[in-house]
Structure 1
Amino acid sequence: MKQKVVIKSNKYGLIVHMDPEGDYTAILEELKEKFTESARFFKDATMAITFEGRVLTKVQEQEIIDLISDIAHVHIVCIFDTNENTERLYQRVVERNLEDMPKKEGQFYKGTLKKRQVLESEKSIIVLGDVEFGARVISKGNIVVLGTIRGSVHAGAAGKKDAFIVALSMKPQMLRIGDTDAQAQLIYVRKDEKPEAKIAWLDGERIYIDPLTDQDW
């Protein structure tokens, strides 16, 4: 009998492949069965998830996330598609942050930060959304934005010079690492420039912004 659900796991998270032609209710039942059997392997883990095989509605995505969280006690922080660039970012985010960050309120922020909103954290923080113009994110550690930065971000706010800032698209109003501000010409983005994941890092007294794929972490 053909499996309607195949679950793969690695140190980056979970990949759930679902039969594109299978009945959705039957898929839910098989998901429930598989995660019940494997709950002891995932209990209290913090990870992201990727859905493959079929297009899900937002309601279906949330239903599956709730099912997995309730049965396997998995803390799912975000959903990723199978885009290659996003996958690279995901791997770096997890390797450099999730494994070293205990699960604590405030280290993951889900939603878009709008004008005049300020988000501050004692630890590295991952924003699951955009930072709009006029919004600010301040962290004593690293800042990862799984969206676009249009506002102001300050990583290493306690003087940490090896902090970094990562975003899927970086068009910041202000960028600061430690006690150093990025020069205006660095954060200027041409209108015709293709959005891509970038990393901002401090080398001496200068902040560099490079495509994330250029970094050999």
Structure 2
Amino acid sequence: MSADNEIVELKSHNSNFILNIFTDDYKKAIDNIKQKFERGSLLKDISVINSINAKDLNIIDIQRIKDFLKTELNIDYKEKKIIKKNTKEPKKEILKENIPKVVKADILEDDNYKTKIIKSPLRSGASVSYDGNILVIGDVNAGAELIASGSIIVLGVLRGFANAGAKGDKKAMVIANKIVATQLRIAEFIAIPPKDDKKSYSGVQMALIKEKGIEIQQVN
């Protein structure tokens, strides 16, 4: 924790604003953030946070804090990454399933993320969060929730909630045989796909950020 035992602290570095959080209770963090911005007149000019350091919070709680910043304080989260060269050969998992080439090339072999594989459908009420990619072999039903700092791949129909790029990665994608999610999020962008038309499609559907919104593309 910081020297003065603060729950949260805000720092500026090279014109970037960094929010450090020193608690495992996201509600306490939100209360402390609210107090700081209400009391600090200089903080009212901040419109963007570029980094959140919270080693004691999980991805879901960090996303809750981002949502609070946006909805209550009108502060966007736009992460700026420092790119480091990777000199080590990344570990790759070999999958026997019929995964489209675009998925293998663009996501599963991404040097920056590990991939969590779930080899069964997800029922309503199931919640999975992972600091990396998530691959589900089976349908994700309505009421289920997927949150990943990387991309989300569903070898089936995606009907539940999906949040890719939960830490701000705008290059993250959501890929499924069919996307009829209750809600899609990629980084800070939100979209509600069309309702299920009960039709079957060849290939896969891919949701990604184009310009200033989420676009769903058909990939055959």
How far did residue 194 of structure 1 move? Answer: 3.0
Deviation at residue 100 of structure 1 after TM alignment: 2.9
**Which residue matches 1:170?**
179
- The Cα offsets for residues 42-79 of structure 1, whole Å up to 9 and x where unpaired, read as xx962222xxxxxxxxxxxxxxxxxxxxxxxxxxxxx3
CA offset at residue 189 of structure 1? 3.6
Contact 2:141 2:158 in 1 (8 A): yes
Written as runs of structure 1 = structure 2, the 5 A alignment for 1:45-194 is: 46-49=93-96, 79-80=97-98, 89-100=99-110, 107-182=116-191, 184=192, 186-191=193-198, 193-194=199-200
SS of alignment partner, residue 198 of structure 1: strand
Aligned-partner Cα distance in 1 for 2:124–2:116:
21
Q: Which runs of 5+ in 2 are unaligned?
A: 1-90
Contact persistence 2:113–2:132 (CA under 8 A): no
Q: Do the aligned partners of 1:46 and 1:103 also contact (CA within 8 Å) in 2?
A: no
- Structure 1: gaps spanning 5 or more residues: 1-43, 50-78, 81-88
Maintained 8 Å contact 1:153/1:176: yes
Structure number with higher helix proportion: 1
Deviation at 1:204, TM superposition (A): 2.8
Aligned residues: 129
| Percentage of identical aligned residues | 29
Find runs of 4+ consecutive structure 1 residues off by over 2 angstroms. 97-104, 186-191, 193-196
What's the TM-score, normalizing by structure 2? 0.53
Give the SS at the match of 1:161.
coil
Q: Using the alignment, how far apart are the partners of 1:203 and 1:103 within structure 2?
A: 22
Root-mean-square deviation (CA, aligned residues, Å) is: 2.3
| AA of the residue aligned to 2:205 | K
Over 3 Å counting, the alpha-carbon distance change for 1:45 and 1:150 in structure 2 is closer
Deviation digits for residues 185-204 of structure 1, max 9, x if unmatched?
x433434x333410001123
